Structure 1
Amino acid sequence: MDRRVISSLAHRDHPVAAPLSDASVDRLLDRALPRGDERLLDLGCGEAAWLLRALTPRPGARGEGVDTSRDALTRAREAARAAGLDARLTLHEQDAAGFTSPHVFGLVAVVGSTHAFGGLLPALATARTHLAAGGRVLVGEGFWEREPSPAALAGLGASHDEFDDLATTVERVAEDGWTPVYGHVSTQDEWDDYEWSWTGSLSRWALDHPGRPDSAEALRAATAHRDGWLRGYRGTLGFVTLLLRAS
């Protein structure tokens, strides 16, 4: 089963593809879009959950999303039409790192997708090229809550140098010419809800479709992910979402 299909199934019952609650998403968007009529861009938008959440209560806002997954963008368009938002949402099927636009944006979001750019600082460099004067960047990135054990690294399929601790992560951002104006560190409850939702949604799909040739593979993927989390990185991997202004 394609990894993008697994991810789509696993994220069906969670507000966004990151360990954030509904309340946290809304609070971050309220801070990020103070006027309510901004033009916003999501690089690596997936099914455009952030864009749909941003546009729904802000009739003056317009959004654009970029992603390489045709299936995810198809579902995003369907959700936008169902919500009556399709006239204010433009989606592009292409590599986000190479995306160009005639517009600049009051908010550029890169939440949980910095890996697509080669890391946090390259993602911020790309975001900067799209940013209007005085605009904001919303970036979500992992960090080490504590020194990762071999089991944690194995569960994530990650290397030790893939992330820094929280203080170092913020320092790197500041040294790169950004000023954090708000931030949210995902709580253990948010992480647990995200992981139970991820593994539960995928498992439920597999159990509901026993005749599908890929149902057994989906169930194995859910089980492996759950074991990697519970026996490995639970309490070790953190997630911070930063709202940034260019210094």
Structure 2
Amino acid sequence: MRHSLPIAPQFYVTAAQPCPYLAGRTERKLFTALQGDTAELLNDALSKQGFRRSQNVLYRPACAECASCLSARIRVADFRPSRTQKRVMRRNAPLTRRFSAPWATEDQFALFRRYLDSRHADGGMADMDIFEFAAMIEETPIRSRVVEYTARDGDGGTDLAAVCLTDLLDDGLSMVYSFYDPDRRGDSLGTHAILDHIEIAREAGLPFVYLGYWVPGSAKMGYKAQFDALEIYVGGAWRALRDPAAQTEIGRPRTAEPIAEQVARIDLPDSVARG
């Protein structure tokens, strides 16, 4: 007997688990698979609606009593670096940027492990081995690139300073995951990677750089609010972030919209929705 799989995406919800950003809260995610010829179309469309990619899955927070995780992106044309960010750019000017296909290397994994052990030793990725790392980098059904930043060492060679896994969307660049040399913490390499991606997008004529989720009240995510021309996805629309402190109201407990209604509001491309 022949069976044909539906092309139209099916949406699911994860079980509740402790929130990694705000103590005492739980999180759950609405997610769907990225597969087939429509993967790029779906990724482009759902990224504009607050979703993020992890390997071959697109997800968006769907927590029962919290709406703190806000998808954030920078309007490239309107961005102006602060004085501090200009200093970061000058400090890291000697770094060399290199693009490559999404292929994991031992040097990347070694840097990744040092980064996790220094910055996120108790996080959800703390136990990732090289095979899981390779899957994170390589399992992508869409256009992705690895952006490496290297520095000259004392012997005339190069050292890997920072790495970013980046997706190419139809309206911008999505910074999926970044990590850097913890011994160069004073160089603000995470900030540099974002600033450099803004420049890459500007050169390519792309209007946005997607940063993932900004979480008011979370020290881990506070740095994103320091960028000019930031937009957050709230109530089904992108809105300029005027006053980061005022957004704490969004994260207060609320009655969640039913999952079925959330799914019904998702706007799918015609070629994907038809199935």
Instruction: Calculate the TM-score normalised by the size of structure 1.
Output: 0.30
More helix by share: 1
Which of 1 and 2 has greater Rg? 2
Higher relative contact order (CA 8 A, sep 6+): 2
